[in-house]
Structure formats: C-alpha cells, structure tokens
Amino acid sequence: MNTPFAKVALVGRFQTAAVGASVREIAAFLAERGVQVLLDQNTANTIGAGHWQVLSTAQIGHQANLAIAVGGDGTMLGVARMLAPFGVPVVGINHGWLGFITDIALAGWRPALGTILDGHFESEERSLLASRVERAGETVWRELSLNDVVVSRSSRTGMIELQVEVDGTYMYTQRGDGLIIATPTGSTAYALSANGPILHPLLRGLVLVPVAPQTLSNRPISLPDSVSITVRVVGGREPRVACDMQVFTDLQIGDDIHIERAPFTTRFLHPPGYSYFATLRGKLNWQELPSSLNNQGEAD
C-alpha cells in the first residue's frame, strides 16, 4: 500500500514487560500494511529482536519516517527528545495512566494508527528547551527537554537559593525547594502541580514556576520563548538539575544553568479530530457543558 511512512520505529516502555505484547501486535499490524518495522535497542532487549531490524537512536533518526511511542508520557518524552534533532515525527499510544501527550488510547490504536498510515492526521509542532551547565567558565553538561528544566535541592533538609537572569538582566533571587522552567507541553506536568498556568501548545512562551518558595510574592511568570534564562545556584545542599525529570546532574554552588529554546522542534501526529481541550477535559476532569447550556448559551 502507499503510505508516507515506509519505515516506522517502535519504542516501548522497556521497563514494563506488559508493553511487549502490545509492541509485537503493533509491529505485526505495520508489517501487514507493508511497513518496514524498526526497533530501538532497549525495546528489543525487553521483547526480543524477533525478525525486526534493531537500530541505535542515531540510526533510527536517519532512517525512520515515523516513530511510535508505546507507553506513558515518560516514554513519549524520551522518544521525542531523542528524535527531535532528526525531525522524525512521533505518535503516542497510551499504555500508561495519565497520557497528556500519548493521546491514542490503547483500546483504539488500530483504527487510529491505520488512519495516520493512510496519510490522514493532524500535525503539531512542540518546542523544546536546550540547557547547559557552566562551571568556572566551562560547559560540563548539556541536555534537551520537552517538558521542563527543574533546578532543585536533592537534600531532605534546607532550601536552595537561586538567582535568575533573563537576557542578561537580573530578575530575582529566590529561596525555596526549587524552580521549574516549563514549555507549553510541560505546563501540564510538574509545573501544574506547583500551581503554574496551563499554556496552550501553540503559544511561543515559557513559564517559570517556583516550588514552595519561602516568600509568597515569588509567583509563576510567563515569558516569551525567545529569551535566554540563566539560573545561578547561590546556596543550598546537594543541588541538582533535571530535564523532563528523566536525566539529571548534580550541581555545585556557583554553577550557572543556561536555558533557551532549542533550534528545532518535535512534531506530534494525531488522528483526525484530535482536540487539545478534549484532552484537558478528560485528564483534569473538567465538567462538560450541560446540553441545556449548549442550546441556550447561558443558564436561566
């Protein structure tokens, strides 16, 4: 059959053995439609290589036309972060619990995936953050994130003190448990639990959300994503920085964490009819509008 996706990579939540059966079913479905199936190495280590081609992340990036993440949002984050530099679009099949970005339900993956393979889908660009840690003038760590960058204390006692600059201009010094710098995608993750605002994915913005600040006047603030943010560790025990809460590094007093929008995006594909607001309603248990209000526009 004709499809814009001749080579499709499958990435499963390799820490969970139950995902293996789903990945094998999806692989068989793809093969029946004449699609070449590629497995990443970690997924193959869990479910077995079978007769599928097993590739490294870089090889998948250079060869795949599409990647399918089977798992929860964490799996989707990891796949998107790895493949964004290569421009490979990603589809998420929810084998997890919450599923803000893995929007295809496990029970309905066949018709949804079939429609996408036929070339009927909605496409969405999501921004990423590029972070690097500078110590004594030398870059000692760098990473990408799709959700957020979190600078925090890893010790159980005490607070961390952070100095924040935006485009080289001093903004504030904050004491508390940490600071979240989130993309619109990440605004429904850790930032949301810390009372940050929800940003629509199409907004070109970032949000800075303090975590348990000592001073209640330290409030979340939204910024354009064209800015460059520097967070300096001024004080605190055992500070660290995390990207998407998946990759970490320890920090030292005096370290600078430089954060800016990555020079590329990741592309999510959704079945036709996808609605971001429907996702929010379902995941956040927002009330549906009563039918009487749909007809009248307001309550009596």
- Residues 40, 73, 148, 255: which is the catalytic one? 73
Q: Which DSSP category does 30 fall into?
A: H
- List the 178-182 sheet strands across, edge first: 221-224, 205-211, 178-182, 148-153, 239-243, 247-250
CA distance 48 to 21: 11
Cα 245 to Cα 13, 60, 144, 155, 259, distances in angstroms: 16, 24, 11, 16, 16
114, 70, 77, 78: which is closest to 95 by C-alpha? 70
Q: Are 172 and 218 in contact (CB under 8 A)?
A: yes
- 224: which strand partners? 205
Catalytic residue check, 103: no
DSSP string, 214-277: SSTT---EEEETTS-EEEEEEE-SSEEEEETTTEEEE--TT-EEEEEEEEEEEEEEE-TT--HH
If residue 122 lies in a helix (H) or strand (E), which one and from where to where?
Answer: strand 122-135
Give catalytic residues, as residue numbers: 73
